[in-house]
Amino acid sequence: MSAQRGAAAGREEQPPVELRAALIQGLQEQFPGVRVWFGEATGSWWALVPTNAGPRLLEAPTPQQLRDAIMATRTRT
* pLDDT, tens only, 29-76: 999 999 999 999 999 999 999 999 999 999 999 999 999 999 999 888
The amino acid sitting at 39 is: G
Count other C-beta atoms under 10 Å from residue 20's C-beta.
Answer: 16
Residue whose C-alpha is closest to residue 67's, from 42, 39, 34: 34
The reported pTM is 0.81
Per-residue pLDDT band for 15 (boundaries 50, 70, 90) equals confident
